[in-house]
């Protein structure tokens, strides 16, 4: 099989950043909006550090805060890859290049410098900044070489079809760059569950019929709605990032319709994005699970490479 393009690769955290994230989950278990993320992601993150979430909670009580911080950093250092190690992981998984993002665009840009041909930036922008935000986004594309933008309701607490996003979409259309839009449920009880429902994509695609739109994260649990929207709009693509590929083919997972249509009528509109930051898996494992899906080999090649190449490079 050909090389792979990964269009939703989370920027690797530093040991200090990973430790801070783990500390927040451990010490804020009753905070509003955090409990579900601790329950779902906490055990996985803790296990990657060689501990259980319960053990870390005990340590947070037993140790002085400074010592607890040092413990978390020391554990994180064992699992967080250096840039060279990260590139080696891409090599091993046959990934030709990947799209990376972080709320801090400067951090993303600095990381792309390690391998500009392999690491390409996706700019996250704040819709509440208005024209100032649009200017920042334009500079990221024109001056820093970012290749896409990412619109997230999760961070900014408004629907992606909110008119505050529209100047950014218009600029992306002008610059001919794809817009990735967070399109799935969230676990934060501070936000409506359906703030990023796929129906928002339909409105955006109607208003911007020539914009390259990627509905990111697969639309679960509203997968049939997203499938219908992609059938309506040929400029809408879907990535299934942050969901383990092996579950896409599992009966009762909610992805049955997507797998059926993505293997047939939507085969040219599906893109691979791993979202390994949420999955807590090595990129190679995610790729292997994608390759094992019960779909035609010719379609797998489109999902893993050809569709992304056509979207970004016109191939």
DSSP 150-196: EE-HHHH-S-TTSGGGHHHHHHHHHHT--EEEE-S----TTS-TTTT
Average of per-residue pLDDT across 234-257: 93
Q: Which residue has the higher pLDDT, 80 or 279?
A: 80
Angle at 135 between CA 129 and CA 140, to 5 degrees: 110
**Of 117, 80, 122, 53, whose CA–CA distance to 282 is shortest?**
80
Query: Which CA distances in Å does 131 have to 108, 128, 135, 167, 200?
Result: 22, 9, 6, 8, 22
Per-residue pLDDT at 28: 83
- pLDDT band per the 50, 70, 90 thresholds, residue 55: very high
- The average pLDDT across 9-20 equals 90
The pLDDT assigned to 76 comes to 94
pLDDT at 315: 59
Phi-psi region of 9 (alpha: psi -120 to 50; beta: other; left: phi over 0): beta
Q: Looking at residue 2, what is its pLDDT? A: 73
Q: What is the CA radius of gyration of the chain?
A: 19
- Per cent of the chain over pLDDT 70 is 99
Q: Distance between CA 186 and CA 78 in Å, rounded?
A: 30
pLDDT digits (tens, 9 = 90+) for 258-279: 999 999 999 999 999 998 877 7
Task: Tell whether the model's pLDDT for residue 158 goes beyond 90.
Answer: yes
Residue 126 has φ and ψ, to the nearest 5°, of -100, 110
pLDDT, tens only, 93-121? 999 999 999 999 999 999 999 999 999 99
Q: Which domains does the chain have, with CATH numbers?
A: 4-12+81-313 (3.20.20.140), 15-77 (no CATH)
- φ/ψ region of 157 (left if φ > 0, alpha if ψ in -120 to 50, else beta) reads left
Confidence of residue 1 (pLDDT cuts 50, 70, 90): low
DSSP H or E segment with residue 256:
helix 256-262
Q: What is the pLDDT of residue 173?
A: 98
What is the per-residue pLDDT for 100?
95
Residue 70: pLDDT over 80: yes
| 50's tokens | 């060689």
Mean pLDDT, to the nearest integer, of 188-207? 94
Q: Distances from the Cα of 18 to the Cαs of 8, 15, 50, in angstroms?
A: 19, 5, 14
pTM, to two decimals: 0.93
Other Cβ atoms within 10 Å of 91 Cβ, number = 11
Residue 17 clears pLDDT 80, i.e. is over it: yes
């Amino acid at each position: 099989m050909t090389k792979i393009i990964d269009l939703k690769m989370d920027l690797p955290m530093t040991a200090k950043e990973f430790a801070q994230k783990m500390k927040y989950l451990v010490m804020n278990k009753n905070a509003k909006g955090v409990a579900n993320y601790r329950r779902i992601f906490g055990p996985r993150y803790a296990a990657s550090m060689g501990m259980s979430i319960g053990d870390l909670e005990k340590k947070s009580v037993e140790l002085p805060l400074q010592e607890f911080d040092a413990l978390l950093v020391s554990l994180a250092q064992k699992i967080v890859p250096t840039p060279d190690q990260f590139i080696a992981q891409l090599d091993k998984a046959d990934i030709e290049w990947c799209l990376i993002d972080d709320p801090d665009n400067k951090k993303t840009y600095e990381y792309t410098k390690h391998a500009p041909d392999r690491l390409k930036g996706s700019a996250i922008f704040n819709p509440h900044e208005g024209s100032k935000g649009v200017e920042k986004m334009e500079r990221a594309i024109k001056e820093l070489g970012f290749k896409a933008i990412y619109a997230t309701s999760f961070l900014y607490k408004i629907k992606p079809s909110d008119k505050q996003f529209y100047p950014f979409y218009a600029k992306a259309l002008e610059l001919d760059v794809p817009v990735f839009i967070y399109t799935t449920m969230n676990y934060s009880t501070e936000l409506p569950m359906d703030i990023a429902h796929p129906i928002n994509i339909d409105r955006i695609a109607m208003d911007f019929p020539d914009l390259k739109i990627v509905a990111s994260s697969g639309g679960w649990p509203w997968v049939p709605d997203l499938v219908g929207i992609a059938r309506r709009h040929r400029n809408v693509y879907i990535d299934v990032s942050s969901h383990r590929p092996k579950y896409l083919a599992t009966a009762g997972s909610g992805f049955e319709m997507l797998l059926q249509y993505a293997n047939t009528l939507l085969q040219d509109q599906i893109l691979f994005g791993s979202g390994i930051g949420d999955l807590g898996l090595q990129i190679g494992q995610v790729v292997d699970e994608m390759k094992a899906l019960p779909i035609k080999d010719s379609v797998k090649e489109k999902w893993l490479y050809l569709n992304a190449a056509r979207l970004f490079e016109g191939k």
